[in-house]
Amino acid sequence: MARTASEVKVECLCGALIDLSQVPMPGEHFFFPTADWDEVIRRLGAAFMASEKEEHRRLKARISDTLAGAGDAFFPCPGCQRLIVPVEDGYEFYRRDEGPAGR
């Protein structure tokens, strides 16, 4: 789920405020489902083949767009190290010693 310009901070369950205005955010990680691996590789290959006649900058843009469309970001809370995962209607918070908690 992409962040919007108006969404600048998120509050973790521990009370820490995380500033989302910096993109990419320090500590932010990216993932995509492993079930989509072959499709992502196919799309990256297609981007490479389509850009053989294009300049290097366009290839980087195609690869970036392909990866951005295949996954999502998550980030750790600096206060408690919960993983914060954007979902369609907000965020979910995960800790190893707890189940997921949504907000």
Each residue's pLDDT tens digit, 64-90: 787 777 778 888 998 998 999 888 888
Q: What pTM was computed for the model? A: 0.59
In the chain, pLDDT over 70 holds for what percent of residues? 82
Report whether pLDDT(50) > 60: yes
Per-residue confidence band for 24, with pLDDT thresholds at 50, 70 and 90:
confident
How many other CB atoms are there within 10 angstroms of residue 91's CB atom? 20
Mean of all residue pLDDT scores within the chain: 78
With beta carbons less than 8 A apart as the criterion, state whether 70 and 5 touch. Answer: no
With beta carbons less than 8 A apart as the criterion, state whether 24 and 67 touch. Answer: no
Report whether pLDDT(93) > 70: yes
